[in-house]
């Protein structure tokens, strides 16, 4: 193999790995078989939050191990789990109000607007603005801003006010979806039709069609442009 090798430090221990690998693949290259800290491997599940430093820089950087390419002399560790506060609630008994957010996550009001959460979000979300919207009771805004959150937990791990931004955001999205989003009339109508058995006969007929009959129906069905 003719690859350029670089040194990285996994939890303080040096390893030689090929340049260009993601942190996840580099760790596997050194012989790690992940149990924790590895999930979808595609940037969606939040299992592989990683913090690291590079030489000559005091700052802690963050990324998802599956999406971040290794750098020479990088010091890294994964944060596969964070003991974050998660409120338990019955969504059916809630109202989409500031009151509800504060009742379940009172620490929300401790936000210092320091933007540390913004700096560590691997999705580059406006986390602080999301919390600000939540504190105003603007649930729609908070739900919208946080929509692409993958709940990796890095924000909560760095928050000096000990807010669990991703769980607050999840609550705002569920409140929005359940109570604020306008109901879908066509969906309700279809549900009614299904209940009344409107489609039972035609489905029965399709199920009993012979193969050629079904194939010709399929081939000649009209397609919505």
How far is CA 109 from each of CA 112, 162, 217, rounded to the nearest angstrom? 9, 11, 61
Q: Is there binding between residue 25 and other proteins (CB under 8 A)?
A: yes
Closest separation in Å from C-beta 210 to other proteins: 10
Q: Is there binding between residue 11 and other proteins (CB under 8 A)?
A: no
Q: Is there binding between residue 82 and other proteins (CB under 8 A)?
A: no
Distance CA 71, CA 75 (A): 9
Q: Is there binding between residue 124 and other proteins (CB under 8 A)?
A: yes
Q: Is there binding between residue 196 and other proteins (CB under 8 A)?
A: no
Q: Is there binding between residue 135 and other proteins (CB under 8 A)?
A: no
Q: Is there binding between residue 33 and other proteins (CB under 8 A)?
A: yes
How far is CA 174 from each of CA 9, 58, 98, 149, rounded to the nearest angstrom? 40, 38, 14, 13
Q: Is there binding between residue 9 and other proteins (CB under 8 A)?
A: no
**Stretch (H or E) spanning 28:** helix 23-29
Closest separation in Å from C-beta 55 to other proteins: 22
Distance CA 162, CA 110 (A): 8
Q: Is there binding between residue 150 and other proteins (CB under 8 A)?
A: yes
Closest CA to 143 of 169, 124, 164: 169
Let me know: does 29 contact 21? Beta carbons within 8 Å.
Answer: yes
Q: Is there binding between residue 102 and other proteins (CB under 8 A)?
A: no
> What does the radius of gyration of the chain's CA atoms come to, in whole angstroms?
25
Contacting other proteins (CB under 8 A), which of 9, 15, 28, 61? Answer: 28
Contacting other proteins (CB under 8 A), which of 100, 127, 145, 176? Answer: 176
Contacting other proteins (CB under 8 A), which of 19, 36, 110, 115? Answer: 36
């Amino acid at each position: 193999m003719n690859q350029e090798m670089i040194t990285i430090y996994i939890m303080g221990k040096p390893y030689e790995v090929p340049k260009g690998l993601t942190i996840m693949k580099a760790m596997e290259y050194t012989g790690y078989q992940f149990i924790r800290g590895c999930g979808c491997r595609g940037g969606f599940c939040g299992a592989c939050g990683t913090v690291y430093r590079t030489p000559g820089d005091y700052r802690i950087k963050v990324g998802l191990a599956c999406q971040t390419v290794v750098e020479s002399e990088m010091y890294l560790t994964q944060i596969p789990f964070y003991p974050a506060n998660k409120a338990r609630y019955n969504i059916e008994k809630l109202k989409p109000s500031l009151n509800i957010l504060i009742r379940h996550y009172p620490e929300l009001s401790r936000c210092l607007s320091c933007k540390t959460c913004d700096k560590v979000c691997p999705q580059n979300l406006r986390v602080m603005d999301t919390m600000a919207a939540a504190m105003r009771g603007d649930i729609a805004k908070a739900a919208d801003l946080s929509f692409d959150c993958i709940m990796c937990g890095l924000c909560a791990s760095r928050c000096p006010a000990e807010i669990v931004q991703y769980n607050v955001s999840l609550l705002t999205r569920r409140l929005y979806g359940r109570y604020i989003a306008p109901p879908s009339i066509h969906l309700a109508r279809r549900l009614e039709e299904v209940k009344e058995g409107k489609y039972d006969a035609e489905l029965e007929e399709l199920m009993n069609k012979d193969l050629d009959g079904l194939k010709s129906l399929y081939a000649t069905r009209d397609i919505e442009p």
